[in-house]
Structure 1
Amino acid sequence: MKKLLIVMAMVGLTLSANAQEDATPELKYSVATNSFWSNWFVEVGADWNAWYSNEEHGQDLRRLPLRKFRSNPGAALAIGKWFTPGLGLRTKAQGIWGKAVVDGDNYGNCNKYWTLNEQVMFNLSNLFCGYNENRVWNVIPFAGAGVSRSMTYNRYGFVASVGVQSSWKVAKHLNVYAEGGWNLMSGDADGVAAAPRHRGWDNQDNQLYAEVGLQFNLGKSTWNKVPDVDALNALHQSQIDALKNQLNDANAENERLKTLLANQKAAETTKEFVNTPISVFFNLGKSTIASQKDLVNVQALAKYAKDNGSKLVVNGYADKATGSAEFNKKLSEARANTVAKELVKMGVDNANIEAKGNGGVEELSPISFNRRATVQVAE
């Protein structure tokens, strides 16, 4: 029996190593928890079973698992769910054709049965190597417990199970798997209620099995990457900084004009006012005015133009660091036209307004200051 277990382990490792060579290399990453309805699977398999009953202890029967008096085919059906890439639960039913190995004359003795196990599964590939949705193979040991029933002899009993599974991804929702396992049952699972006379393995009825089958993944079978919180925070911070810069620019312009008006004579103030471009700012890629506060000084200049019959020039700009030259040219023209329409609403004759688009520039720093249009009296 020890030889059998060693052979099964070596086969599993060999298959896993071969599959690993075909795996698509990709960086592992942390995953977010999926909903309850994600990562379910159904397995359908065919078994070859070998039975070792407690009654055969001391009879020196052949121990090879493929001996006719102790082996039979079987079938398996399971449903399970992965709660994380490395931890899952599976409910597995096996059964139909078993053996009751009682003595050397027991060839062909049938024991129809079924077992129902609840098993914990550990995906070692994901636990030790990190989750990779393109991984071709996975190595998955499992252990659990449940109930067994001999339908031939109408007996129920306890069963414990342990084993290892290797699975290979062949399509998005389809895997092929092979597994080997051991079901340790109560001593009368084969229909013979022998008195306990031994310890461990020899005091129980045992089923060793090898199984191959198909695994069908239901619904979403992958795991989402955890969002990069640092990158999101950096993006939000850059947007906040841009708004702060725009506000600071507007406040600085207002303060400059207030100081100018307060400290100079009326005539000099008026001359400086009409010759100074008034800025109206826009958001990235937009031609709608970011803040109506920018129009306060524009309205004062519009009043001066109406009172004095002056012509006004509106220059539109975009920042050179973003967008193509063709796009920035059209965007700057749209911004100039937006401000020109506001001047018309303020009572300035459209014939006295000249609107020009100057494309992308980098005259001001930071670059966001260039997303503007200026208004001034024509020279």
Structure 2
Amino acid sequence: MKVKLFLISLLLGVTTLTLSAQETVAPQAGTKPVYKTTFERGTAADHWFLTLQGGVGAQFLEGNEEKPFADRLQMSYSLSLGKYHTPSFATRLNLVGAQAHTYYKVGNDVMNYESSFVGAHYDFMFDMINHFSRYNAKRVFHIIPFAGVGYNLKFNKAFEDLHHTAAIDAGLQLQFRLGRRADLVIEGKAIYNNFNFTMNRCPRSIAWNPNAYNGLYGALTAGFNFRMGGVEWTEVVPMDYDLINDLNGQISSLRAENAELSKRPVACPECPEVVQPTTTEVMSDKTILFKFDSYRIDKNQMITLYNVSEYVKEHNTPILVIGYTDTTGDANYNLGLSERRAKAVTNALINDFGVSADMITTQWEGATDKLFDTKAWNRVVIIRSK
């Protein structure tokens, strides 16, 4: 009975160790929509943008209806500084300046009281395309509704009549990607300021409507958006399955070596001593994986770089660092990306782990699909003995 229990326990132990060393299937990054994905926030200097726009606008007042709509259009300008807090949510400070002429009727004549206004608004922006789609740093088209609160100041040419009010604004921005750091934007906006405008005096000695400055202002503008700091977002992967699989593989290899060593005799007096031939130390290939379109080294890859650095310093063995990408995208861009990945690994070995630059040769090969059958695994830097 004891023998049976011992055999059963041994079988369960072996089964558990075998299962723990089996490869776990890693989830691919970028497969879920943004609202179901967690991203790194980056530094305080990342994900800022500056937007410059110009266009036309008009007031929608009762007296202004005496004029044709095209004649009521005046110039409108805006300057915005903002920051994206996630790929789909941003806030901005929007400064607006515009002509806002007010028309009134005297007899059969329609008179124009020339006035202007400036305003500052704090807007909340929501990128609908990014929110409900998978994250793509190169997406061309974005639909971004926004809304906010602010304060407006209205005045005439001579600054004789100054009026101020709290305001709310809302609108829709269409964004078209021109490059990594620039976009073309088209924006429609409405500003409602019917809160506390009051007339201080009656200009030009007319019977002035005390609500002449109140109501709705609409504008249509276009311009350019410029992104500053870090642009791309990095998805947070809760667990690095590639690292786990690599460690499990090393554990399985060590177990096999230990089992082989246990079969050898402790001593063999009758056997003559065998002189082992001198061999050159050769390090097995090491891999550093990268996320899509990125040359940033993940923290959980640093253990591999540490092991490489210790090996090089202990055995004084020169190494070769070779960068690759997968076959997605333009070949020239991929060649440059593979160069940046290879140099990032080289710089980390030198600056972070103290490897002499004379011991490292850096190369880059661009796109490949020949290293691994899994496409994502070809976004890699391979380190091997030279």
The TM-score, its normalising length taken from structure 1, stands at 0.54
Q: Is the 8 A contact 1:41 1:79 kept in 2?
A: yes
1:270 aligned residue: 269
Q: Which of the residues 159, 165, 169 maps onto 1:161?
A: 169
1:127 aligned residue: 131
Larger-gyration structure (1/2) = 1
2:232 aligned residue: 222
1:236 aligned residue: 247
2:145 aligned residue: 141
2:113 aligned residue: 109
In the alignment, structure 2 segments of 5+ residues that lack a partner are 1-29, 202-207, 287-314, 316-386
Give the whole-Å Cα distance in 1 for the aligned partners of 2:97 and 2:198. Answer: 13
Secondary structure of 2:175's counterpart equals strand
Give the whole-Å Cα distance in 2 for the aligned partners of 1:190 and 1:71. Answer: 24
Change (3 A) 1:188 1:270: closer
Q: Deviations over 1:250-306 (max 9, x none)?
A: 4x14xx424xx6xxxxxxx533xx2xxxxxxxxxxxxxxxxxxxxxxxxxxxxxx5x
Change (3 A) 1:60 1:77: closer
Give the whole-Å Cα distance in 2 for the aligned partners of 1:40 and 1:103. Answer: 47
Give the whole-Å Cα distance in 2 for the aligned partners of 1:73 and 1:136. Answer: 29
Q: CA deviation at 1:236?
A: 2.8
Q: CA deviation at 1:34?
A: 2.2
Change (3 A) 1:185 1:103: farther
Q: What letter matches 1:312 in structure 2?
A: V
Change (3 A) 1:221 1:257: same
Give the whole-Å Cα distance in 2 for the aligned partners of 1:192 and 1:98. Answer: 18
Larger CA deviation: 174-183 vs 98-107 = 98-107
Q: Is the 8 A contact 2:127 2:144 kept in 1?
A: yes
1:186 aligns with 2:186: no
Q: Is the 8 A contact 1:28 1:132 kept in 2?
A: no
Higher helix share: 1
Task: Please give the root-mean-square deviation of Cα atoms over the aligned residues, in Å.
Answer: 3.7
Change (3 A) 1:65 1:119: farther
Q: Which of the residues 97, 100, 111 maps onto 1:98?
A: 100
Secondary structure of 1:108's counterpart equals strand
Identity %: 18
The TM-score, its normalising length taken from structure 2, stands at 0.54
Equivalent residue pairs, number: 240
Give the whole-Å Cα distance in 2 for the aligned partners of 1:111 and 1:60. Answer: 17
Q: Is the 8 A contact 1:100 1:191 kept in 2?
A: no
Q: What letter matches 2:183 in structure 1?
A: N
1:118 aligns with 2:126: no
Q: Is the 8 A contact 1:111 1:191 kept in 2?
A: no
Change (3 A) 1:27 1:311: closer
Give the whole-Å Cα distance in 2 for the aligned partners of 1:48 and 1:101. Answer: 17
Q: What letter matches 1:173 in structure 2?
A: R
Change (3 A) 1:315 1:161: same
Give the whole-Å Cα distance in 2 for the aligned partners of 1:322 and 1:188. Answer: 73
Q: Is the 8 A contact 2:82 2:92 kept in 1?
A: yes
1:151 aligned residue: 155
Give the whole-Å Cα distance in 2 for the aligned partners of 1:210 and 1:73. Answer: 10
1:312 aligns with 2:275: yes
Q: What letter matches 2:112 in structure 1?
A: G
**Hey, which bits of structure 1, 4+ residues long, moved more than 6 A?**
26-29, 192-197, 315-319
Q: CA deviation at 1:184?
A: 0.3
Q: What letter matches 2:97 in structure 1?
A: G
Q: Deviations over 1:146-191 (max 9, x none)?
A: 1011133211101100000001111221111001010000256495
Q: CA deviation at 1:41?
A: 0.5
Change (3 A) 1:182 1:322: closer
Secondary structure of 2:151's counterpart equals strand
Q: For 1:1-379, list aligned pairs within 5 A.
A: 30=37, 31-53=39-61, 56=63, 61=66, 65-66=69-70, 68=71, 70-103=72-105, 105-152=109-156, 153-186=161-194, 189=197, 204-227=214-237, 229-250=240-261, 252-253=262-263, 256-258=264-266, 270-271=269-270, 274=271, 312-314=275-277
Q: Is the 8 A contact 1:100 1:190 kept in 2?
A: no
Q: CA deviation at 1:130?
A: 2.1
Give the whole-Å Cα distance in 1 for the aligned partners of 2:209 and 2:102. Answer: 16
